[in-house]
Structure 1
Amino acid sequence: MAGITFGEEGSVPGTSQAAGDAGQNLLKGILSAPTDADAAKRISTGGAELKKMAEKGSFAINEAGLQAYLKACDKFLGGFDYWRGQLQRLTQPAKMGGSEYAKKVADFNAKVAGGDDQALLPNLQLMYKGIEDAKAALQIARKNYRETEEAHNITFAKITKELDQQ
C-alpha cells in the first residue's frame, strides 16, 4: 500500500490499527466476494470506513497511490453494469426440461444468482457500494495528503528562513 497513510489526524502515519483494518476490510476477499456474502459485506463496510476516515483526515494518499487505486476501482465499476445484467438474466429459472429435478435445479440456480441476501447479485451490489465509497475516500485522502504536504512545506520554509537569518 505504498503512498497511503493511515492514522488519526495529526498522528504519525501508519500507527492507527483501526485505519489499517478499514483498508484491509475493503481489500480482503475481493476475489471471493460475489460468492461470499461476508466478503461482500467486508468490502462494503471497508469502503464506508475508509470514506469516514478520509473525511476525518485520518487517511491520506499520494498521487501515485491514488492513480493505482483509482484504476482498480474504475475497472470494477466499469464492468459492474455488464455483470449485473448477466446475473439479472440468471435470476430467471432456465428451461432445463420438464422433470421435477430439472425444475428444482433451475430454481436453485436462480436463487443462487439473486434469490436472497446470500446470492450473487446482492453481493455484487454490496461490493459496488463499497468500491464507490473507497473511490470517494481516495479523492478525499488525496486532498488530505496535499494539505499535509503543503503544511510541511510551509513549516520547512519557515525553518529554512530562520536558519538563513542566523
Structure 2
Amino acid sequence: MDFEEFMDYIIFKNISVRNKYPNLNIQESDLITVLMASFLDKFESRLSLEFYDNFISEEEIDSVVENYDFNQIRNEVTFNFIIPEEIEELETKVKIKNNGKIFIIHKNDADPFPSNPHAHWLDSNLKIDLSNGKCYHIRKHIKTLSTKEFKEIREKADALGVELPKLT
C-alpha cells in the first residue's frame, strides 16, 4: 500500500470510527496517532516521521482501529518529567516554511538517508536530500526541487544553525 492508498484507507476507516463514536469528533490524524503508537516499536523507529516509511496492511490497520477505545483519545495526563539528554538531542528539530510548504530537519536524525541531515517535507511525505534537492519516498527518487526552492531551503536552514551537507 503506497502513501496515497494508506491515506485513502485512513479516510475510509475514519468514517466507521466517527459513526461508532459520534460525540468525539475523531479526525484522520487521531487514527494515525493511534497507529503510530501501535507500530513504532514494531518498526523500531526512533522518530515519528519514520512511521510513514513502513508498510502496514489493511488487516493490521483494521485490527488496531477495531480494538482501540477511542473514548480515551481525548484524555490527557500532565506530569513533570525531565527528558533525558539523549532524547532531547534526538528530538531537536528545525521547522522551515517555504512557498507554503513545511519542512522539518531533525538535527540528530537516526536515519542518514538520503543525506545527513535531510529534510522531511510534511505534506508530501517526502525526504529531501539537502546536498542536491532530490526528493525521495522511502528510497525511491520521486522528483527534484527547483534550484531556486532548494537554495531558499538551504539558506533558511543555514540561518537557523543547521550544519548542512556539502553540495553534490
Shared fold (TM-score, shorter chain, > 0.5): no
TM-score normalised to structure 2 length: 0.22
Which protein, 1 or 2, shows the higher relative CO under an 8 Å CA cutoff with sep ≥ 6? 1
Q: Which has the higher strand share?
A: 2
Between Structure 1 and Structure 2, whose CA radius of gyration is higher? 1
